[in-house]
Amino acid sequence: MKWFLALGCLLLSSSVFATLNDGIKAFDKQKYDQALAEFKPLAAIGNAEARYYLGIMQKNGFAMPQDVDRALGWFKKAASQGYAPAHREIGKMYLAGDGVIADVKEAIKSLTKAAGQGDESAQMELAQLYFAGEKVEKNPAEAKRWFEQAAILGNAQAQYQVANLLYQGDAVEKNVEQALTWYQQAAAAGQIEAQYTLAYLYMDGQSIAQDYPRAFALFEQAAQANNRNAQYMLGYMFDQGMGVPKSPKAAFDWYLKSAQQGYDEAQLIVGYMYFSGKGAIKNPALAEDWVSKAVAQGNAKAQKLLDEMHRAAKH
């Protein structure tokens, strides 16, 4: 008899999982009517994840009337069963005053519960709150704690933030070795700012052994992702022949990409290269146009160059 009951429980559990999975697949495909049909009976028998999804659907008006109060009710039911994403959603609602009276203490309480259960989004939310110090008292140690938890779970943005805190040593103990490890992990995961920072450190050679080829490779990764600072630095490395053969033409091309994204230092150099004919065909009109763009951003060096160009034009 016991084996029969155990078999029945196993079959029921498998059925619930299959139905829940079908509901999540339908939800992800934005087939909300189908998702609702799957989640409703599961929520009625106490499935926390189904209750969470009903909260999301009710909050956004997906196949259900939009009703923030009822959504909060679904989240609270799921949270009472220990479902971390529900705690996170409650925390975000209280933090933003979304359908409820804003209450930072309640928000922190719910977010901390979710974060403590390993919810990566809640960990990031808490870390950013403590880091910014706008809605709560600034607390770099708590920010580092939660960024680190999310970083361990593989969040590249968190890895970058932990690296910054450790490298700068502001209000937390400075640890350059650990910082470099986190920068490397974040950069390997494609975090653009980490790629740029690590590239600069390799180029600078103060905190890590100088390595121009590695610096160039990392700058290139960030530049290909349209990071204008990295594009500028590639131009600089081609300009100076750092880790690559000198190439004024290649330098100009990367400076131009950066300038087109509005970086004033790049606009200044592009203007100078058009003015001098270094890496580009001389073009006084384009030279003045690019230098003027940098001047418009308050670049004092650009103003000096523009004055020099005007004096040269008179002779």
In terms of pLDDT, which residue wins out, 84 or 7? 84
Q: Are 304 and 294 in contact (CB under 8 A)?
A: no
What's this model's pTM, rounded to 2 decimal places? 0.87
CB within 8 Å of 8: residues ≥ 6 apart: none
Which residues, other chains included, contact 241 with Cβ-Cβ below 8 Å and sequence gap of 6+? none
Structural domains of the chain, with CATH: 20-117 (1.25.40.10), 127-207 (1.25.40.10), 229-315 (1.25.40.10)
Q: What is the mean pLDDT of the segment spanning 137-144?
A: 94
**Tens-digit pLDDT profile for residues 207-264:** 999 999 999 999 999 999 999 999 999 999 999 999 999 999 999 999 999 999 999 9
Residue 172 or 286, more confident: 286
The pLDDT tens digits for 268-298 are: 999 999 999 999 999 999 999 999 999 999 9
Give the pLDDT score at 24: 95
Distance CA 54, CA 29 (A): 16
Q: What is the mean pLDDT of residues 67-75?
A: 95
pLDDT at 5 over 80: no
Name the CA radius of gyration of the chain, rounded: 27
Which stretches of 170-299 are DSSP H helices?
A: 176-188, 192-204, 212-224, 228-240, 248-260, 264-276, 284-296
Calculate the average pLDDT of the chain.
93
Choice between 315 and 76, residue whose per-residue pLDDT is larger: 76
Q: How far apart are CA 286 and CA 132, in angstroms?
A: 42
pLDDT at 12: 42
Residue 9 pLDDT > 90: no
Average pLDDT over residues 192-201: 98
Instruction: Find out whether 131 and 161 touch, Cβ atoms under 8 Å.
Output: yes
CA trace torsion 89, 92, 94, 100 (10° rounding): -70
pLDDT at 314: 79
Tokens at 72, concatenated = 């909060």
Long-range contacts of 257-261 (CB under 8 A, 24+ apart): 257/223, 257/228, 257/231, 258/228, 258/229, 258/231, 258/232, 259/290, 259/293, 261/226, 261/228, 261/231
107 and 76 Cβ atoms separated by less than 8 Å: no
Measured in whole angstroms, the distance separating CA 297 from the mean position of its chain's CA atoms is 27
Give the per-residue pLDDT at 17: 54
Query: Using CA atoms in the order 40, 41, 43, 45, what is the torsion angle rounded to 10 degrees?
Result: 170
- What's the N-to-C CA distance of the chain in angstroms? 106
Q: Are residues 146 and 126 in contact, defined by beta-carbon separation less than 8 angstroms?
A: yes
Whose CA is closest to 183, among 205, 200, 203? Answer: 200
Give the per-residue pLDDT at 86: 97
The pLDDT of residue 10 is: 42
pLDDT of 16: 56
Query: What distance in Å separates the CA atoms of residue 292 and residue 63, rounded to the nearest whole number?
Result: 54
pLDDT of residue 18: 60
pLDDT category of residue 15 using cuts at 50, 70 and 90: low
How many contiguous H segments (helices) and E segments (strands) does the chain have? 17, 0
